[in-house]
Structure 1
């Protein structure tokens, strides 16, 4: 099992990039090597050092890279864009940062005027160079990444907006947002007002679209994931299993399974196929990522280079990655100095992205062979 090392303080000159291993010799022309040689020695004379071969599995500059320096407060959500070339992160300091995944891993934009309160979630558009975000200022915003300016603001909620997701439905990209006001709003980016309002009846902390854009998975303070059919605008079935507030929801790449995290320190993989053979639809219950007592919304994610792994952060400052079918942890990744609030996987390479209350992100290389 590979583990991340404790990060050192970022160098201002490096723009927040920390290389976690020292590579002997110049990097290869393509910026990656199958194996890198690392000198291991207890003394100053490295000529007698043990040479250890480290297998490389991605195009990152180093097996672990720290992205730091942009935010002054906790990171609440971070995600790769659909191409895997860029990263967006949002923070309690009311800003959104944009980063390059590959070297140089620069923070090329910091958006500070989109929201007037902590930004709780971000999502990349699937169809345009835009970014969606939601905030404690009770709004959902659309930002044009070409200009870095907000081009639309939705004001349908009367409480803190905790979560949002987007999906393609009938050729149109739709947004869903969940709020403390007990409503889920569905937005068409071309319309001013919500096209659908679902009265959940209790504060909503997590929303996630189904693969075909006809259903929305909703989690909140009632400890149950409710599945709403948009055509009927009512609950068609529920996913039990948790004993505390739902903290995050994530759909698998095949759209057959849903990962839910909770304040009860469990992660559950639900079978959401139309004709599930399980009465409870619980496919696997995963243990090992403690939620702590901070009531933080811990957002997990699925490996998108295969459906075998899921990852969830915890209050123990680590990220746990499980093999879904066996339910066994395959990684326990340290490195952060605060609760890990957000986990995402690269769409094409075995790279995991984590965001933390320590105001930093880590990019980590995984070996899924």
Structure 2
């Protein structure tokens, strides 16, 4: 699970709490340290929460994520400089997946960019990278005519995901959700609360992310639970995103992993940007999917080809939807096309079959 490494590092710092911390405790959540935050890993259980999202709708508290506001006449030029994707293609009311590259061929972070107006953008960054991203962006800010504001502490963020998300939310919002395409971003009223909705997510299902002022978080959470939406924790979030083939920063992406080892080369557009030269160097590794028959594997387990270690597992779980173990693995480029691997688990090698990602895609 994604939370195991963070649990091992617990106790080194005081944990932060989202505006929904008390609500999680009332719901009987099992709380764990994650990225410096005290977060719910599960309520009824990972499998039940995972299934709720795949079959109906589930809700995640992702208020630990960071939100930076970028405003001013130089906002677009600044974002073009610090990211790899083409922000100029982003119209007001639209969102875009993007990368913050460093100067050495890795990623500072992978982020989402939301364009609110011509000179007004919102960046959502990973929780464990908030301070690092802020420092990085501040260093590149001079000369761009931009105001950068950290709105993380005053922003609550909920993710309602699943095939019934639109149907459940429509009666309690003032906006026609059927007209909102994927990556739409717009103002609305939800359960009487002013919010911004984005048709984005991290589960492989349809759904909406809900941005609101922190003081409205519990009202929204309780109201959405009242609609029959299932609360879901970090455990289900990880199994869902891995089935959908989505990378997780700190696992598939880091400061040192070449991001083009993944299948996300489309995020790098032909434009001038910070770190461009380093990304031109071919990646020495490739990210592949693996299927195992019985034995689940975890991050760091060695991946072998003909008995020789050629890489390691970056993420692994037993897929609740598919019923067998799956994993993402970073392997040497020369070995990536092999038809068979083994993964070493506690000194024993287990067969692993290369499988295209995503492992799951809604029909």
Which TM class, normalised by the smaller chain length? under 0.3
TM-score (norm 2): 0.23
- Write 1 or 2 for the structure with the bigger share of helix: 2
The higher-RCO structure (CA 8 Å, 6+ apart) is 2
TM-score, with length taken from structure 1: 0.23
